[in-house]
Amino acid sequence: MIGYKNHGSIFLTACIAVSLLFSITFSNTVLAHDGDSDKSERAYKAYKLRTRAALRNFLEPVPDQPSNGDERRYSNRLNSFSKGLPHDDNGLVEAGAFQLMLDAVESGQSADFEMIPKGVAGGYGLRNPLAAFSYLLEGKDPHSFAMPAAPAFDSAWQASDAVEVMWQALTRDVPFSDYAGSALIADAVADMNSMSDYRGATVNGVINSQSLFRGIGVGETTGPYISQFLLMQVPYGATKVDQKYNVPVAGNDHLINYDEWLHIQKGGKPTGVTAVRYEAESRYIYNGRAMAQYVLKDFVNQAYLNAAQIMRNFGAAAYDKNDPYNGSVQARSPLFGNNHAVDLLSRVSMSSQNVAWFQKWLVHRRARPEVFFGRVHNHLTKQAVSYPLHDDVLSSGSLGKVFAANGNYLLPTATPKGSPLHPTYPAGHSVMAGAAVTMLKAFFNGEYVIPDPVMTSQDGKSLLPYTGAELTIEGELNKLASNISLGRDIAGVHYRTDGDLGIVLGEEFAISVLRELVQTYSEDFKGFSFNRFDGTAMLISKQ
């Protein structure tokens, strides 16, 4: 990872002194003009808001950035991101090309990234690594956040991450409504319960068909697998939109041919060995294949924009209890209404990607799941190849099933392109989900019980009434974030840790933005109140 220069105490003191001196001088200057005193006072207050936020962020300690050590541990870079670069026949990156990528990451210069060779002429390029070096003017700086090290290649944690992704691929065509009675799901449940370091959702400490492939936030194991905000009609201007989507046909998997897998790792474009084929009729998100297709095709804040419109339609009771216009003779909007919520979720949706890209490119550089199972395939099929795979992977029943289906141990992906050309940890979709959903929680009442909830039919062509335990805004927003996050795992392009820990990173970023924005409002209110994904209560108020 890139090194950091610590600010010495003398430098810090000098900066603070200069800032305070400038503030006093500026205050005396702008308030000295009698005719413009009101305007000057307003300008000074605006100045103080901005400089105090910047100074507060500047004075925070620079965090350590832990990594799993795999890049130093393995000279062949077997668990380091290298897609799009030249590779040998075993899918290992050429050392010189990888070093050029490291040099570019160290320098942060666009010209150095242009020097990195492509693995295939005319192939795909690296996805915007320079975003990792960008700055933001709202919330904490992207480089001021930290997250845990990703699982190491040979660890039990990595094994559970990988095995879960394989089972998600194998079960893509099982309707969510059939999970409880599916023999294939039962096999997945048994195998995941055998993992020695699984950190996903459980019920009383055990994985079952209700908790399988679910997120770890509060309320996520209650009710249907898919969040109400991905199922209910979306009020969209003067109309309403059914959330039906084009879904590939059953069994439409990709990267199940080794030569094609290797070509794709070099950054090549799909050759046509496989192609996406769609069902004749659109469907609701009723199984893993439909969920994977959604997250492969969604636009930046689609799911969260839809959720805001749905919650707005619930009425005034759905807004947060601390909303300053609850019981007021004034009316909300433009501030504190749906438009305000949509604006803020949109603002953090894009900027959260800068936060994610710093971690992806400058800290972790973790390889994608399709690479991991390329290693598994070569380890099991080539005598001259041996990798330090954990026994939990090698003993998993998922390997026998994928080999029986495809004649190899590669991960079947939901797209011919495989994963995008940027590192896997954290998932950009997940960081965005954590940030956008946190903004929605700040505006809406998490305890509000969702009226007339629904679930998908077995074939995904219709919605049916759901009559189980009550579903709340908080639980379904948590579920929405995980549906988007884990949907990328189901597609074969991410791991659970990319998502669960990415959501927390996005949540932290959104909280940093809210702490600045709460200072800017004139309304008399207690502050933004909501529960974090782990259930911790938050109140962000003026200071």
Alpha helix positions (H), 1-66? 9-30, 37-59
**Is the pLDDT at 210 greater than 90, yes or no?**
yes
Give yes or no for residue 251 having a pLDDT over 90. yes
- Both tokens of 279, joined, read 């069902």
- Residues 277-317 pLDDT 10s: 999 999 999 999 999 999 999 999 999 999 999 999 999 99
Predicted local distance difference test score (pLDDT) of residue 327: 86
Model pLDDT, residue 39: 79
Average pLDDT over residues 147-164: 98
Q: What integer pLDDT is reported at residue 18 of this predicted model? A: 59
- Percent above pLDDT 90 for the chain: 90
State how far Cα 249 lies from the chain centre: 26
Cα(254)–Cα(164) distance, integer angstroms: 18
Residue 6: pLDDT band with limits 50, 70, 90: very low
pLDDT of 3 above 50: no
State the average pLDDT for the chain: 94
- The phi and psi torsions of 522 (rounded to 5 degrees) equal -95, -15
- pTM equals 0.94
Q: What pLDDT score was predicted for residue 277?
A: 98
When pLDDT is cut at 50, 70 and 90, the band that residue 4 belongs to is very low
pLDDT value of position 387: 98
pLDDT tens for residues 67-99? 999 999 999 999 999 999 999 999 999 999 999
Q: Which residues pair with 538 in a beta bridge?
A: 530
Burial code (b: 16+ CB inside 10 Å, e: under 16) for 177-210 equals bebeebeebebbbebbeebeebebbbeeeebbbb
Q: If DSSP codes are grouped into helix, strand and coil, which group holds residue 240? A: strand
Average of per-residue pLDDT across 485-490: 98
Look at residue 276 and tell me whether its pLDDT is greater than 90: yes
Q: In terms of Cα–Cα distance, which of 215, 221, 209 is closest to 175?
A: 209
Q: Looking at residue 25, what is its pLDDT? A: 56
Does 19 score more than 90 pLDDT? no
Mean pLDDT of 419-447: 98
Q: Mean of the pLDDT values across residues 517-531? A: 94
